[in-house]
Amino acid sequence: MRGNQTSFIKAMVLLFIVVTMASCSSVPANDQEALTELKKINDPIEPTNRFIFNFNQGLDAAIIKPITGLYRGIFPSIIRDSIHNFMNNIKTPVVLANDVLQGEPERAGNTMMRFIINSSVGIAGLRDQATNWGFEDHDEDFGQTLAVWGVGEGPYLMLPVLGPSNPRDAIGKLVDNLIDPINLWADNDDREWVPITRTAVNGLDTRDRLWDILNDLEKSSIDYYAAIRSLYRQRRNDDISNGSGSKNNKTPNLAETTVINDPLDEPQISAVGP
């Protein structure tokens, strides 16, 4: 497991270096209207991102979606909901840590109460009894924590397999994996099958939860890639502002003056990140 974590860390560090180095590129700034639009969508390497998106779509169509469809066909919603609740419950320590790091004592107390209730009355988290008793679920991750600390999202990224992201959220995902008690235990006991299985089940659960949303979005969208990009950024802004809406999310963007050239774009065309 330690070898897998090391490889993951190297990959994420490499990603961050590539994005950072790319920001040193120069571009012509004579088309202000185009530059304004590029800053608005925050996707300076769109051709590369679209290439990766198409790869992910192919992977989803060939493997992920069929497996998820089989999962949905075999297990009724009550079983799938129980699996979702259990996976949510075991990540509580990471949510709690980020509640504390964000200076949210009330939300941290809510998280602790949810864990106590769901781990006991909720039968190891298979039932979300805490919500029924008024302790609403919420999610926190280190990407959100960095945003609260004032770290900007950077340019939009489409990661292979992992999907929509940005440098801040990618680094946040890495930190969350490193501080997760289950991962630490599995690493120390050489039980690498634990995080592998957990990642696979989480991915399956996420695809199941997004089944109808993605189907409807793909059918109704003129540009499916742009719709996914917009949906991801809106959701992350909503998460960061604790549901108060993206207009209330005042976190700055580290890429506000970043200029990036896309290796898959035309030789004379480049873009400016927000």
Q: What is the pLDDT of residues 6-54, one digit of tens each?
A: 555 555 555 554 554 444 443 445 556 656 666 678 899 999 999 999 9
pLDDT digits (tens, 9 = 90+) for 99-111: 999 999 999 999 9
C-alpha closest to that of 39 among 256, 193, 197, 239: 256
**What residues contact residue 242 under an 8 Å CB cut-off, 6+ apart?**
107, 138
Whole-angstrom distance, CA of residue 259 vs CA of residue 242: 30
pLDDT band for position 193 (cuts 50, 70, 90): very high
Tell me phi and psi for residue 156, to 5 degrees: -65, 140
| Average pLDDT of the segment spanning 223-240 | 94
- Please report the pLDDT score of residue 12 as a whole number: 55
Average pLDDT across the chain, whole number: 83
Indicate the range of 33-47, 231-245, 250-264 predicted with least confidence.
250-264
- Please report the pLDDT score of residue 230 as a whole number: 93
| Average pLDDT of the segment spanning 221-234 | 94
pTM for this prediction: 0.78
pLDDT digits (tens, 9 = 90+) for 84-95: 999 999 999 999
Q: Is the pLDDT of residue 269 over 50?
A: no
Whole-angstrom distance, CA of residue 85 vs CA of residue 153: 29
- Please report the pLDDT score of residue 101 as a whole number: 96
C-alpha closest to that of 181 among 96, 103, 84, 108: 96
Would you tell me how many other CB atoms lie within 10 Å of the CB of residue 136? 10
